[in-house]
Structure 1
Amino acid sequence: MKKSLLLAVIMFLGTVTSINAQKFAGLQKSPTDISYAKTDRNAKPDIKVIYSRPQKKGRTMLGDKVAYGKVWRTGADEATEIKLFKDMKLGDATVKAGTYSLFTIPGEKEWTIILSSDLDVWGAYSYNEKNDVARIKVPAAKGDELEAFSIAFKKVDKGYHMVLGWETTRVEVPFYM
């Protein structure tokens, strides 16, 4: 009986040791985040965005690492993903409820916002304009310094503005119901 118990304890400790010995890769350099557009805290979302948040780390990003005039994944790693839970207007286009990739073309004074049907892509390397569902140009404004690229929503009459911010640049993208 004692030998059986001792053997069970040894086997258990061996299992715990192998679990603790599991190697994990380093932390994600651009952590993934989610931003929701909701009428209130307890409401179901109208829009959800999943994106990675690159950090400046002393570098100039917009206009340098993220080139003006070129398609950008709107974050880091995989292309940013946006889910509309209901049909919405983006500029003149009515966009059906569904999931899309969010690409942008940053500029000093204005940004082009692109919703694409091309999903689960890494970066913007395989971006194809033929898969665009909607495009809109929006002005770029100035704000307080942000170390990490960020996306947030603010409720406006008849919809939301998705606010993209990094460094001192702010861009508001209107989504209307």
Structure 2
Amino acid sequence: MSPKLRKGLKISLFGILPLAILIFFVATGYHYVPVDVTIGSCLKDYTSPSTYTERSSPLKSYEIQSEDQTILICYGSPSVKGRKIFGDLVPYNRLWRFGANEPTRIYTSSDLVIGEVVVPKGRYSMYAIPGEESWEIFISESTFHWGNWISESVRDQEIGSFEVVPETNSNFVESFTISSEEDTLIIEWESTLLRIPIIYIDEG
């Protein structure tokens, strides 16, 4: 290979490499960036065709801050629209993505206990098996699967699960909503309410 051709090849590679890296992170969201960097706005999964159309279930986020600790939860927010939700649109005793579109994702800058599961600093997905009397909530290290495509490989990455007893909400909630009260995650949709305790693990 001539020196001139070798030089041209190096220039091409240096030009293509940054572009390839940029395309990779645009396509995958920020799932491979350090979690301290990812705390911020939620990104859509640009590998899904539905991302390029108007969404009936918008991507929402909820952030919890406690001193220098941050939790960011990203989730699709479907609406009731006159339908019966739990036990019908969302069947009992079957895995459900806990929202819509992308998996519901949790980004945490510190170690936590969510429900009864120890969750080290990092990024995770959360999904559930709803039941009439009890829900099982799962935490997985898989964040790059599409919502309800909860495959065996996704299940293999679970770090734990816990059970929550659903409550009847005194207020009807049209859109799936995640919020918090003190150290408790609040999940509301239709007439169902879940309370999930969160404990911060002291790193000191």
User: Given the two structures, how large is their TM-score scaled by the length of structure 2?
Assistant: 0.67
Deviates more, 1:90-99 or 1:51-60: 90-99
**Any stretches of 5+ residues in structure 1 without a counterpart?**
1-24
1:114 offset after TM fit, Å? 0.8
SS in 2 for 1:134: strand
What code does the residue aligned with 1:171 have? L
Name the counterpart of 1:51: 75
2:56, 2:78 within 8 Å by CA — same for their partners in 1? yes
Q: Is residue 84 of structure 2 the alignment partner of residue 60 of structure 1?
A: yes
1:45 offset after TM fit, Å? 5.2
Q: Is residue 93 of structure 2 the alignment partner of residue 93 of structure 1?
A: no
Name the counterpart of 1:69: 93
CA RMSD for the aligned pairs?
A: 1.6
Q: Is residue 127 of structure 2 the alignment partner of residue 103 of structure 1?
A: yes
Which of 59, 70, 73 does residue 32 from structure 1 map onto? 59
SS in 2 for 1:46: strand
**Any stretches of 5+ residues in structure 2 without a counterpart?**
1-51
* Matched pairs, number: 146
Structure in which a larger fraction of residues adopt strand:
1
1:174 offset after TM fit, Å? 1.1
Identity %: 29
- Distance in 2 of aligned mates of 1:61 and 1:164: 14
Name the counterpart of 1:166: 189
Cα distance change of structure 1 residues 64 and 46 upon mapping to structure 2, 3 Å threshold: same
User: Given the two structures, how large is their TM-score scaled by the length of structure 1?
Assistant: 0.77
Name the counterpart of 2:102: 78
- Distance in 2 of aligned mates of 1:44 and 1:65: 39
- Distance in 2 of aligned mates of 1:141 and 1:92: 19
Q: Is residue 157 of structure 2 the alignment partner of residue 131 of structure 1?
A: yes
4+ long deviations beyond 4 Å: none
- Distance in 2 of aligned mates of 1:147 and 1:45: 31
